[in-house]
Amino acid sequence: MSRKFTWFNATALTLGFAFLYLPMVILIIYSFNESKLVTVWAGFSTKWYGELMQNDAFLSAALVTLKVAALSSTFAAILGTMAAYVLVRGGRFMGRTLFSGMIYAPLVMPEVITGLSLLLLFISIGLDRGIFTIVLAHTTFAMCYVSVVVSSRLVTFDKSLEEAALDLGCSPFDAFISVTLPIIAPAVISGWLLAFTLSLDDLVIASFAAGPSATTLPMKIFSSVRLGVSPEINALSTIMISIVTVGVITASLISKRSIGQRERDEQAALKQ
Amino acid sequence: MNFRRLFLIATPYFWLLALFLVPFLIVFKISLSDTAIAIPPYTPTLDLSGGWASIKSFFSELDIENFIFLTEDSLYWKAYLSSLQIAGVSTLLTLIVGYPIAYGMAQSSDSWRPTLMMLVILPFWTSFLIRVYSWIGILSNEGFLNQFLQWIGLTSEPLTILNTNYAVYIGIIYTYLPFMVLPIYSALEKMDGSLIEAAEDLGCSRLSAFWLVTFPLSRPGMIAGCFLVFIPALGEFVIPSLLGGSGTLMIGKVLWEEFFNNRDWPVASAVAVVLLLILIIPIILFQRNEQKQREADQ
């Protein structure tokens, strides 16, 4: 579109980003507050970080959350990639419509319903609830996100590359491993990352699936936040926000560099 | 049919059947059952050992009693209506807040765009729960917003915002803003700039060129954004339970309380089934909009 960057646009962007970021900035600043009262500034201190490190309940919940996220995002990446491949390259098979419906439905399903239905399943087959059931639940909804990300990459990539490999004597499996997988790898990795964050972040589904024996970090945060604002939660939030910020910025720098590298390679190849 | 293809299709297929479709059928079945003081807390339970007769008696005991109960107790239909209202109003407000941001992004220079894009996406990666929590300290009676308003002399008494529906609106706008901005931005970005120039050459003022050209062309983006906010907002649980008050009725919260506090599984299941029926309409409309967009793009 034609671009005329006016004062109106500048104001809209400034106000918009202030709205998006001010709450988090305030949260971070007040995590360094000396006072227990979270709205009164009483001097700089890192004591809440120290107390957080002493809090075993938070640490063990964080460990559970990381375990669940690592396992479920890995399963979700594998299953989601398979599902995407089936959707895009699978051809016709019985129940294809049902299959694609089951891929897209969890994306729009309210979390309370997903959580409730999984809990009722676990109870009716007599499965003991704990870390295992949270992993099952998270894998199920995260694999749908992965398959959407991966299938959008599969749709755009040139099928003739695969066919060339098959013509040159690859088995379909070899062709997938040596041609398709390297090309869709960035999408699989971003799908994995998405699944990992979704799992880290999930409160509702985990609360239903967890049962009394396992507590994840969001569940722990939720139960203490219900009682009001606490500087310890501010400290915890600051740590989590910093990790995500560093991760996202690093990932975007890496992808920027790899795009730049690819463009240089292509130009070099054209010159030859 | 070769074995590898079968394996490739069957693995994700059966996973989703077992962990998505079957659980939902169980919810549907329990919504037709009766509450009982037992483990599990509903009746009838299916007992296959009794053979055909027990299966028959199992089905004959299912009824729509819970759904009738939902229509009789005003709590439920009030909760559905108020969820629709809260989701609708906040979707509209998100559109009003999000559109200028998307427009500003689309008008900015190429060197700025990736940074602005990242700034919009970054909050999406940070914890939803934390983003909602950050507003508690801002909206409470002695919070930052009230301190600020009293400092500039706008109010003398603190305004009660936290634990009201206003706080829920703010929470929804804040957390779902990226879902609104991104589709509008991508619609605006695709737009052909010469259209605006043509409109201005033909005597449009900048404002009327915007209303006659840019705004209609960004409609698909706005529609997509509205659905992306409205659909999850309708079943929202975290925002009403942290920012809303006891008077805030939202169906996600009602379902949660019915299940965890009242332990009434059949009614919770019936609430879920009705919520899904309500959601089917916007979901189908959303799919149609996406389909139309894909066809238009090709």
Q: What is the CATH number of the domain that holds B89?
A: 1.10.3720.10
Does a structural domain hold residue A157? yes
> Is B13 at the interface with chain A, CB within 8 A?
yes
Residue B252 lies in a domain: yes
Average pLDDT over residues B187-209: 85
| pLDDT, position A1 | 47
Q: For residue B68, tell me if it sits in a domain.
A: no
Q: Which residues from chain B sit within 8 angstroms of residue A222, using beta carbons?
A: 129, 238, 242
Interface contact flag, B123 A95, Cβ < 8 Å: no
Q: Helix H segments across B17-152?
A: 22-31, 52-61, 65-72, 74-107, 113-125, 128-139, 144-151
Check CB contact of B122 with chain A, cutoff 8 Å. Answer: yes
Q: Kindly state whether residue A27 falls inside one of the protein's structural domains.
A: no
Alpha carbon distance B200, B210 (integer Å): 10
- Supply the pTM of this predicted model: 0.88
Tell me how far apart the alpha carbons of residues B182 and B110 are, in angstroms, rounded to a whole number. 16
- Residue A189 domain-assigned (yes or no): yes
Nearest CB among A13, A82, A98 relative to B12 is that of A82
**Cβ-proximal residues to A200 (8 Å cutoff; 6+ apart), any chain:** A65, A66, A69, A217, A218, B127
Domain assignment present for residue A167? The answer is yes
Q: Is the dihedral of CA A94, A96, A99, A101 positive or negative?
A: negative
Residue B93: give the domain boundaries.
74-297
Q: How far is CA A160 from CA A45, A167, A180, A233, in A?
A: 61, 10, 11, 53
Position B124 scores a pLDDT of 85
> Residues 40 to 69 of A: which have CB under 8 A from any B CB?
none
Closest C-alpha to A240, from A272, A200, A270:
A200
How far apart (Å, rounded) are the C-alpha atoms in residues A147 and B20?
15
Residues B231/B281, Cβ–Cβ less than 8 Å: no
pLDDT for A38: 67
**Cβ neighbours of A246 (radius 10 Å):** 10
Domain that holds residue A175: 57-218
pLDDT exceeds 60 at position B117: yes
A230 lies within 8 A of chain B by CB: no
A265/chain B closest Cα distance in angstroms: 22
What is the rounded distance in angstroms from the CA atom of residue A269 to the CA atom of residue B166?
A: 59
CB-nearest to A118 from B23, B120, B142 is: B23
**CATH code, domain with A139:** 1.10.3720.10
Residues of B in contact with A139 (CB under 8 A): 15, 19
The Cα–Cα gap between A1 and B105 comes to 11
Assess if residue B36 is contained within a domain: no
User: Is residue A106 domain-resident?
Assistant: yes
Cβ contacts of A118 on chain B, cutoff 8 Å = 19, 23
Q: Give me the number of domains chain B comprises.
A: 1
Domain count, chain A: 1
Task: Report the pLDDT value the prediction gives residue B243, as an integer from 0 to 100.
Answer: 93
pLDDT in tens, chain A (272 residues): 456 678 888 899 999 999 999 999 999 998 898 887 767 788 888 888 988 888 888 899 999 999 999 999 999 999 999 999 998 887 788 888 899 889 988 888 889 999 999 999 998 888 888 899 999 999 999 999 999 999 988 888 778 888 888 888 888 778 888 888 888 898 999 899 999 999 999 999 999 999 878 899 999 999 888 877 788 888 999 999 999 889 888 888 887 787 777 778 878 877 76
- Residue numbers in B near A252 (CB within 8 A): 114, 118
In a domain, A243, yes or no: no
B chain contacts of residue A124, beta-carbon cutoff 8 Å: 26, 40
Residue B175's nearest CA partner among B106, B231, B94 is B94
ipTM: 0.86
Identify whether B204 is part of a domain.
yes
Q: Indicate whether B98 pLDDT > 70.
A: yes
Q: Where are the alpha helices (DSSP H) in A125-230?
A: 131-156, 159-167, 172-175, 181-201, 204-210, 217-225
* Nearest residue, CB atoms, B134 vs list A26, A85, A228: A26
Residues 146-165 of A with CB under 8 A from B: 147
A26 vs B: CB within 8 A: yes
Q: Is residue A43 part of a domain?
A: no
Q: What is the reported pLDDT for B167?
A: 94
